Amino acid sequence: MNTIYKYELQTIEQQTISMPVGSEILKLDLQFGIPCIWVKVDTNSELGDRNFFTVGTGNYLHDGDLDFIGTYQLLDGNFVYHVFEINF
């Protein structure tokens, strides 16, 4: 069954989130000051790990196969972060 799930992101360099295989990321945004991604999932699919990389503006962006997910701002725009999915 297709459903929309929300996953909270931490503002750390790299993190892994388990979600149903084949899930489609729809949006990245803040909710109550917490970065979140909303994802279309098939609840009948098995779980798999997906890896995300967060980098602040002006910081080094690692080389590799990265898919851009979106950008969010904290503290009235004083800190700007960009989220990528790491493809191994």
Instruction: Provide the pLDDT for residue 62.
Output: 84
Instruction: Provide the pLDDT for residue 66.
Output: 95
- pLDDT classification of 63: cutoffs 50, 70, 90: confident
> Maximum Cα–Cα distance for the chain, whole Å?
41
Task: Give the side-chain half-sphere CA count within 13 A for 32.
Answer: 1
Per-residue pLDDT reduced to its tens digit, 39-62: 999 999 999 999 999 999 999 998
Which residue ranges make up each domain of the chain? 2-86
Mean pLDDT of 32-36: 97
